Amino acid sequence: MDQTYDQFMQDMLGLLADPSYFESWTSDPTNPSLDLPSKVLFPVVASDVVAAVNFAMEHGLEISVKNSGHSYQGASSKKDTLLLNMNRYIHYAPTGITDCDPSILDTTVAEDLSNQPCLLSLAKNKSSMIRVGGGENF
């Protein structure tokens, strides 16, 4: 049986006017639109991430991370987690490549962990590092 456009629109308006339609959609635990974190943080420096991980451990929260790019399916979102959205995380250099000063090799890791990537790089006899997707490669 073919349905005309007007009949289709009448059926849709009737469906949308029914409160039980929305209740069933918003209470369906398999609805992927409801896979939202319970909390979101925007770390700026490594110490923010450390504090977030400590907070999550103390409060029994699982962590999810959104680095860069996007996913139309929300692959970085997980229900009831602490989401670390890394889009405000500092960039060490415009090109992503940072030359490491060898004179810092005998220093300790800074409280905000800002020198940790270069310390690790230098300890591996690498003179620089490159940031990729919110992390470092040596």
In this prediction, residue 78 carries a pLDDT of 80
Summarize pLDDT for 40-96 with one digit per residue, the tens: 888 888 788 889 999 999 999 898 888 765 565 666 678 888 988 887 776 655 556
- Tell me if residue 20 falls in helix, strand or coil: helix
How does pLDDT run across 102-135, given as a tens digit for each residue?
888 788 888 877 778 888 888 888 887 766 554 4
Q: How confident is the model at residue 136 (pLDDT cuts 50, 70, 90)?
A: very low
pTM greater than 0.75 (yes/no) = no
37 φψ region: left (φ > 0), alpha (ψ -120 to 50), beta (else): beta
Q: Round to the nearest angstrom and report the end-to-end CA distance of the chain.
A: 65
What confidence tens digit (pLDDT) does each residue in 1-48 have?
A: 567 877 777 777 777 777 776 676 666 666 666 777 888 888 888 788
Q: How far is CA 14 from CA 1, 5, 68, in A?
A: 20, 14, 41
Distance from the Cα of residue 118 to its chain's centroid: 24
